Amino acid sequence: MSLKQNKVNCNNCSLDNICFPRGLSLEEIKTISQIIKPKKTLQRGEYIFREGDDFRGVLAIKSGTAKLISNDHHGNEHILNILLPGELLGFDGFCNDKYHYSAIALDTLSFCELPAKSMDDIFHNVPTLTRELFRHSSEKMNDDRNFFVLSKRPAEERLAHFLISLSDRLQKRGFSASEFTLSLTRQEMGNHLGLALETVSRLLKRFQQENLINFKSKHIEIIDIPRLRAIFTYTE
Amino acid sequence: MSLKQNKVNCNNCSLDNICFPRGLSLEEIKTISQIIKPKKTLQRGEYIFREGDDFRGVLAIKSGTAKLISNDHHGNEHILNILLPGELLGFDGFCNDKYHYSAIALDTLSFCELPAKSMDDIFHNVPTLTRELFRHSSEKMNDDRNFFVLSKRPAEERLAHFLISLSDRLQKRGFSASEFTLSLTRQEMGNHLGLALETVSRLLKRFQQENLINFKSKHIEIIDIPRLRAIFTYTE
DNA sequence: CGTATTATTGACTCCATTCAAAGATAGTGG
DNA sequence: CCACTATCTTTGAATGGAGTCAATAATACG
């Protein structure tokens, strides 16, 4: 009983300039292509990993989206972040050799894996990737900090920032910056932003009335990106 | 004109089991002692680095405390964290080769430096330290996540958590868990916790009335650690 | 097609903020 | 060493932004 594994070729990947291979030479990309485990596919609702699972490695979303969830002492779920294609997750696993939050597919999703057991090998032999991993990890910290600082601002700024942040990140990945479908309920958006679901609903309606966005159910079109961005960028 | 630099000896350092040398062999500690820049001393109010400064390296607080500050689009300061002896800072600098927040001494403070220019050397030659740096960085991310999740809870839970978190971290570093002087104004505490300074003042008073703490100006004594911890741990 | 989940909308409530004023503390110079 | 000033803290009263509750509407799903 042997399973055939497809070989990874990071060099062919459309995400090569934002994912693991970022900044590496062709030679180095060949090396890591042999280390990285080929992509696996999950359906909506399936777990990439669960809080408390053993650290398997740093993962990269190849396609689809995911939500990161942490549970607090009161049994409430907290959506820490939404991940898009090309984004990495699992850096928290280096501490205690286990994951500290859960990652769940929001769509059909595929991901690649830089295995934990290859990590020492990488540290020894591919210092450029090591540096790049620190850079990725550092970027994540900066994004989180930014989100945290904004989480102290009023509801409308938080929602505006969330939408613009998605738009920016989608554009960087070659998707439309102005139109997307977000597989999140109002409840989940509210949870992520620290708002009641009713508040999210009311604000989306207001943004639509002000001709900033158009939405139908989970499909969102941003009509006026600059004005939506201005909501959390400038004080009026 | 030559400045004499004292040599670092991480092996002699009282913080060796929580700082850079954590988990390293005696041999490795010797190696990094030659790489790490000896400690510098700052007075209260002086900057360790400023937001936007070039990345000099990852730093370790040797003695004293510091606050990390970020500015938002509205010109408001946000205190991201309070750092205690043995804690590392600067991991955010790997991204864009600059620091993304400021670090300011709250007391007379000294710190050591793992220089940015030695980083590639370390990645090549001291993989154990590389791994340990990831572990440190990962721990920081987990602490921040924990703080973030709690920042959505009511004011009293946030303040209780802040006090217990300081107590825990101080104890781990060999200081008293129940008594300390915190060089922060009510304004700064409130800023860090996302609360108005008046709210901090009122809550501290309530905690004192409930015999959870005793305080006089900036000196705080925690009388009942378990009950204070229970405030943010259990729902009643 | 019927049922369950999700979304909208309105009315009411509350926690924490803001405003304001007095009191305490620390730092400075005569 | 004390007076003076600036800063910080406490306390009370009023306000408001977002949450909760509740009922209806829309959408998704088996």
Q: What is the CATH number of domain A155-233?
A: 1.10.10.10
Give B122 CA → C16 C1' in Å.
49
Q: What percentage of residues in chain B have a pLDDT greater than 90?
A: 87
* Confidence (pLDDT) at A6: 56
Q: What percentage of residues in chain B have a pLDDT greater than 70?
A: 96
In the block, tokens 């696996």 appear at: A40
In the block, tokens 């990161």 appear at: A68
* Confidence (pLDDT) at B28: 92
- The overall average pLDDT reported for chain B is 93
Residue B3: is its pLDDT beyond 60? no
**Could you state, in order of their start, the residue ranges of all structural domains in chain B?**
26-150, 155-233
Task: Dump the DSSP string for A178-202.
Answer: SEEE----HHHHHHHHT--HHHHHH
CA A142 to centroid of chain Cα atoms: 14
Minimum-distance nucleotide, CA of A205 to C1' = C8
Q: pLDDT tier at B7 (50, 70, 90 boundaries)?
A: low
* Confidence (pLDDT) at B234: 79
Minimum-distance nucleotide, CA of A185 to C1' = C6
Distance from the Cα of A184 to chain B's closest Cα (Å) equals 19
Provide the 10 A C-beta neighbour count for residue B79: 20
Structure tokens at B47: 């900057």
Residue A4: is its pLDDT beyond 70? no
Burial B7-42 (b: 16+ CB within 10 A, else e): ebebeebebbebbbbbebeeebbebbbebbbebeeb
- pLDDT per position as a tens digit, B86-109: 999 999 999 999 999 999 999 999
Residue B235: is its pLDDT beyond 90? no
* Confidence (pLDDT) at B6: 56
| Domain A26-150 CATH class label | mainly beta
- pLDDT per position as a tens digit, A206-222: 999 999 999 998 999 99
CA B23 – CA B20 distance, rounded (Å): 9
Gyration radius from chain A CA atoms: 19
Residue A235: is its pLDDT beyond 80? no
Q: Given an 8 Å threshold on Cβ–Cβ distance, is B94 in contact with A194? A: no
Residue A69: is its pLDDT beyond 60? yes
Q: pLDDT tier at B198 (50, 70, 90 boundaries)?
A: very high
Q: Given an 8 Å threshold on Cβ–Cβ distance, is A80 in contact with B138? A: no
B163: nearest Cα among B175, B180, B148, B141: B180
- pLDDT per position as a tens digit, B24-74: 999 999 999 999 998 999 999 999 999 999 999 999 999 999 999 999 988
Residue A3: is its pLDDT beyond 50? no
